[in-house]
Structure 1
Amino acid sequence: RDPAAEAAVAIAESFAPGVVLAKRYRLDELIGRGGMSLVYRATDLELQDTVALKIFTQPTNEDALARFKQEVLLARQLIHRHVVRVYDIGTALGARFLTMELLLGEDMHTKLTQGLSLRDGIDYLTQACAGLEAAHQVGVIHRDIKPENLFVTRENVVKVTDFGIAKATFQKGLTVAGMVVGTPEYMAPEQAHGHMEVTPRADLYSIGVILYFLCTRTLPFRHSELVPLLLMHVNDPPELPRLRNPALHADVEQLVLELLAKDPAARPPSARALGERLIELRLRCVV
């Protein structure tokens, strides 16, 4: 018996369409499911507004709750066209939840499986950079940029989502030294290392991994086991993108390699600077 798993199942079973949480949010439809959360379309009965409501199904301890509250407070500071808007936080039926802007569309991962062009992909990453610049300006590093966390609305507006493991650069504590957080395939070397300072340029590395995939249709580093994969990010140079896609413009390859530099100082200086480079490359080098 796994008590934590059983508790998670019990929490998940408590929530069904029609249930009202905190006397305010009526669950209307399950629209997403992850390993640690459920996402519902819900109605805010107080404001008569439709929202997305994310329920965290894993039981929490005090440390996790403190981290969760800190992250929500950070996310609420971010009001930007290219960042998903977070509204409210609460607990109900033994679980934490948060409400946020309801988005209609699909994430960039889905777009990639449908054969997203390099031109459109660069446009999406340029928009993501604008959202990341806003986050970095208030001291928030996302730490888990990947296609699943870049949502493309029906109007083709990109929203950076899920600042769930973000950390304020201006706050100390609440993240254990040596704790590796992020998604291994997209993780910057300094994150994979676990004991190095992580700066906003870690998010730019992750953008570089997505750009590498857009250019080559493969990830720069792949391994079925976690530790060897992390060590590849720390130690191995990526295969040159133009070996996989000879038609790729040399200047696009150059930017990919800069983004995937092991030394953060060798990457572009900011998300804003990267966005400007992407705009220029899209106009000049990408058909």
Structure 2
Amino acid sequence: MSEGLRVLVIEAETPAREWLRHHIHVVWPTAQFTELAPAAARGMPDEFGGGDFDLVVLSLDEGREAALEWLGRYARRPGFPPVVALARGGDEALAVRAVKAGAEDYLPLERLRHDGLVAALRQALASRRPRPATHGAGLPRGWQTRETLHAGEFSSVLLAEHADSGETRVYKLLQGGAVELDAGLLYARFLAEYECIAGLEHPNVVQIHDIGVADDQAWIAMEYLSGGTLATRIAQGIAPDEALAMARGIARGLLAVHGLGVLHRDLKPANVMLREDDTPVLIDFGLAKAMRSEQAITSPGMIFGTPWYMSPEQGHGAPMDERSDGYSLGIMLFEMLTGERPFHARTPMALVYQHRNAPRPALPPTLAEYQPLVHRMMAAEPSARFESTAHLLMALEAAA
């Protein structure tokens, strides 16, 4: 898991959450945590598929029956991440009920030690096998699956190779059953990824080759980028000049898509791939939205995106423009320069609050020359940021 283990922790007690974070970080130092109180988890929408997480740790202590009901509602869905259940003062009967409801394992907290926790989490992660690679099922004639890159509840991403030419492409497939669940919303979001940037050829934007339907699956074919993600590169450490070069490349990609009247809306290191020569490339336009569209896919006030990098206006469901993507790039530049995200919180809503209200953190003294640039990119008010992506790119080029 090169981008870091993504863990959803549903636990009411702060000491228990801190204990889990500590012991998981010992083994998975780049792990990313989203923490929810049990009451908040019970308020999740019915369509929650867990695709943003690799693992769920669920406490059964607060509202035991409600927690077991939550487990039964979600855990056995196709593509849902493995769930490890925890409880204080439980017994064998509770363990059986948890496993029957869908948990991969049940752990009594009062007897739990580091080795036992890690062993249980490793076993749970190993149980989440990707869907077996098929030989062309759902793909156009002549294409064969070489590797399953991602398998979720509603969609999968395959690395495919052409039997004759040897050309490689990435195919993103939407399962037929997903379209049946909501023929308007899910399919519209899937098609948006193609419609937003179809025909655009730019070195900093993933090239979309084609779209089609086969074997009751819709698919999008795009270029294969072999250099890994920017998230992985950040974990390895990035020199300041390289960070600025990455930011300039990303800004050029944004300038191209903004020129089409499109916002990305989910800009984050995991959505930036690298070519073999380290050129950054924007991917995953599944949340993209036409800036002037009169028929938005999402309803007013609905929030989609990644809270770590989300602009204040997006976090509050307010109107967005190209400065919102520029804000996300500012968060990413801060992280590239320092190796740390500028804001930290235990819940998504707490992160949303910080983006709007918290003071902008200072860069280390050795990076002080970049402080005005980064602070302007990360300004809470859009009016205090660079007025356009073109102006932002000029500022990044001037900082070279």
Deviation at 1:25, TM superposition (A): 5.4
**Aligned counterparts of 2:136 and 2:226: Cα–Cα separation in 1:** 23
Residue range with higher mean Cα deviation, 91-100 or 202-211 = 91-100
Asked if residue 65 in structure 1 is aligned to residue 187 in structure 2, the reply is yes
Residue identity opposite 1:224 in structure 2:
R
Distance 2:74 2:215 in 1: 17
2:308 equivalent to 1:193: no
Q: What stretches of structure 2 of length at least 5 have no aligned partner?
A: 1-71, 81-128
Corresponding residue of 1:148: 270
1:248 paired residue among 359, 367, 388: 367
Of structures 1 and 2, the one with the larger relative CO (CA 8 A, separation 6+) is 1
Runs of 4+ residues over 4 Å off in structure 1: 1-5, 12-15, 34-37, 44-48
Aligned equivalent of 1:105: 227
1:285 corresponds to: none
Q: CA–CA distance in 2 between the matches of 1:2 and 1:179? A: 23
Answer yes or no: is 1:33 the counterpart of 2:156: no
Matches within 5 A, 1:20-169: 20-24=137-141, 26-30=143-147, 32-33=149-150, 35=152, 37-44=155-162, 49-56=167-174, 59-60=178-179, 61-63=182-184, 64-169=186-291
- TM-fit CA distance, 1:93: 4.5
- Secondary structure at the residue paired with 1:207? helix
Q: Distance in 2 between matches of 1:239 and 1:183?
A: 20
Q: 1:69, 1:21 → 2: CA distance? A: 17
CA distance in 2 between counterparts of 1:66 and 1:47 reads: 32
Which residue of the partner structure matches residue 281 of structure 1? 399
> Cα gap change, 1:23/1:208 in structure 2, threshold over 3 Å: closer, same or farther?
closer
TM-score, normalised relative to structure 1: 0.86
Query: Can you give the 5+ residue segments of structure 1 that lack an aligned partner in the other structure?
Result: 283-287
Asked whether 1:257 is paired with 2:375, we answer yes
Residue pair 2:206, 2:283 contacting (<8 A) in 1 also: yes
CA 4–198 in structure 1, closer or farther in 2 if over 3 Å, else same:
farther
Aligned to 1:222: 344
Q: Give the secondary-structure state (helix, strand or coil) at the position aligned to 2:365.
A: coil
The Cα shift of 1:218 comes to 1.6
Query: Computing the radius of gyration over CA atoms, which structure comes out larger, 1 or 2?
Result: 2
User: For residues 19 and 6 of structure 1, what CA distance do their matches in structure 2 show?
Assistant: 25
Matched, 1:19 2:136: yes
Residue type of the alignment partner of 2:304: V
> Which amino acid is the alignment partner of residue 220 of structure 2?
L
Among 215, 231, 234, the residue aligned to 2:356: 234
Count of aligned residue pairs for this structure pair: 275
User: Residue in 2 aligned with 1:203?
Assistant: 325
Code of the aligned partner of 1:129: A
CA contact (8 A) 1:19 1:27 kept: yes
CA distance in 1, matches of 2:274, 2:166: 25
Secondary structure of residue in 1 paired with 2:399: helix
TM-score by length of 2: 0.63
Equivalents in 2 of 1:180, 1:150: separation in Å?
21
Identity among equivalent positions (%) equals 30
Listed one character per residue, the Cα deviations across residues 53-89 of structure 1 (whole Å, up to 9, x for unaligned) are 1224682311221232233111214221110011222
Going from structure 1 to structure 2, the CA distance change for 1:25 and 1:13 (only over 3 Å counts) comes to: farther
Taking a change above 3 Å as real, the CA distance of residues 46 and 67 of structure 1, as seen in their structure-2 partners, is farther
Cα deviation, residue 126, structure 1: 0.3
Q: Which moved further from structure 2: 213-222 or 40-49?
A: 40-49
Question: In structure 1, what is the Cα distance between the partners aligned to 2:76 and 2:266?
Answer: 24
What secondary structure is seen at the aligned counterpart in 2 of 1:145? coil
Q: Are 1:4 and 1:59, in contact at CA under 8 Å, matched by a contact in 2?
A: no
